[in-house]
Amino acid sequence: MIGFTGATVGTTLYYLMGEGIHKILPSKVQSYLERGQRYLEKYGALAIFFFAVTPLPGEIVWIPIGCMKYNMHKAIIACWLGKFILMASISFAGYYGLKQFLNFL
């Protein structure tokens, strides 16, 4: 439980970084981000979950989501669920894989 909670808190820092970057972006870039918010509201939680459940770099998603001021509660829940599945699958694979490896020897 500590592993995926810590991973979620760590990736949330990228969200906060995106919020800070939003304040210094030129107005032209901010207009592009406003157009992207339509897709973010539709697929944002799914994208966060997908990047959290795979070992892909989350910065690709979290910084733009912070810039677009996506709902932080939805983002944290989607990330937490994805990290839980990722960490649990790695733990089970390691536990049962070790048993199979020792049986092989």
Please give the pLDDT value at position 42.
86
CB 83 within 8 Å of CB 2? no
Spell out the per-residue pLDDT of the chain, length 105, in tens.
678 788 888 888 898 998 888 888 888 887 888 888 888 888 888 989 999 999 888 888 888 888 888 999 999 999 999 989 998 988 888 888 877 777 776
Q: What are phi and psi of 56, to 5 degrees?
A: -75, 155
Is 40 in contact with 65 (CB distance < 8 Å)? yes
Alpha-carbon span 100 to 92, nearest angstrom: 12
Looking at residue 81, what is its pLDDT?
Answer: 93
Domain regions of the chain by residue span: 2-104
Report the C-alpha gap between 41 and 59 in whole angstroms. Answer: 18
